[in-house]
Amino acid sequence: MSDLSNSSPFFRRWDARDIAPLVSLAVLVVFFTLAAPNFLKVATITAILKQGSVLAIVAAGLTFVLLCAEIDLSVGMAALWCACLCGWLYQRWIGGGSSEPFMTTAAVLLVPLASCLLLGFLSGVLTVWSALPSFIITLAMMFIAEGSSRYLTQSKLLKIPEVLAVLGNDGLQSGGRVVVPYSAMLAAGVLVAGHVVLQHTRFGRYVYMTGGNREAARLAGVRTGRIVVACLVISAATAGLGGLVNAGRMTNVTLDQNKDLLLSAVACVVLGGTSLFGGEGGIGKTAIGVLTFTTLNTGLIQITWINDLARQLLTGVVLMAALVINGVLAKRR
């Protein structure tokens, strides 16, 4: 077991591939500072923090899944389901003018999160029990969550508790304007907690071992099935939390709210240097990936002579270049 641990990326120093995402982020910051004079203003940095907070929360949980060599395609729709259920409960029992509400605001927030835990648990158990790839199981769960959201809301816009609007849009202020959003503070807490779990607990060690060599980990006494289930539960929980924060940013719930969340979260995790094949990466790298992704999106918006169509194209080109560079460095290691 000690041999497995010592050979794991868990204990390795950062190499060229680990530095590449930091270099990419630095290059983007320098470029946008020169190309867009307003890029380094407080309003722009605050926008980056707000946009990145949802991605950071969701990507943190997704990192656990990728580290154990699995994938969770349901995070976007799990986030939508959590927000829709929250909005439905709020309007039905609190915001709908009921004289005797059956639920408090805390319950309206906790029940949807608990339902996401159940989604993740079912995905994990079915993945382990059926021996089917998590790709297939979570794809089916994605459709279940999306269909449930549509049925629950009947495609109508839903209101949300005021506390979510405050969480999504307010923060620590200076000079009468928000400088550090509450959502960014929550995201930082999630990232720190995830980092501590992965780097300083036995469970975190087992996640790396399961992703690095599942059979060897099993022979060493690791219950790899339980690790997979736990990682999918964590992913679903952070997806649900991210969905609530995103609904708070928008101050309501709509069915198209999280349509790009899955691909954006995967891009952030991989852009930071976490391997799709498991056993390599971490929360710190994911945080760098989130900052790089949100800096790119926000910076391109700041450049006024780039239209919307060209902006999406350039986003794809830059992301592709960054990922290819990471891949080349990995082969040379």
What is the pLDDT averaged over residues 204-217?
A: 93
For residue 286, what is the enclosing H or E element?
helix 283-302
CA separation (Å) from 221 to 4, 46, 208, 284?
A: 12, 46, 14, 28
Among the listed residues 27, 4, 22, 56, the one whose alpha carbon sits nearest the alpha carbon of residue 246: 56
Least confident of 65-74, 150-159, 190-199, 242-251: 150-159
Tell me 223's DSSP state. -
Residue 14 is predicted with a pLDDT of 53
Q: What does pTM read for this prediction? A: 0.89
Name the band, by pLDDT with cuts 50, 70 and 90, for residue 4: very low
d(CA 21, CA 211): 22
pLDDT exceeds 70 at position 275:
yes
pLDDT exceeds 50 at position 141:
yes
Residue 43 is predicted with a pLDDT of 84
d(CA 97, CA 252): 17
pLDDT exceeds 90 at position 291:
yes
Tracing tokens 């982020």 back to the chain, one arrives at 25
Q: What domains does the chain contain, in order, with CATH numbers?
A: 2-332 (1.10.3470)
Name the band, by pLDDT with cuts 50, 70 and 90, for residue 175: low
d(CA 307, CA 311): 6
What is the pLDDT averaged over residues 162-179?
A: 82
pLDDT exceeds 90 at position 57:
yes
What is the pLDDT averaged over residues 218-232?
A: 94
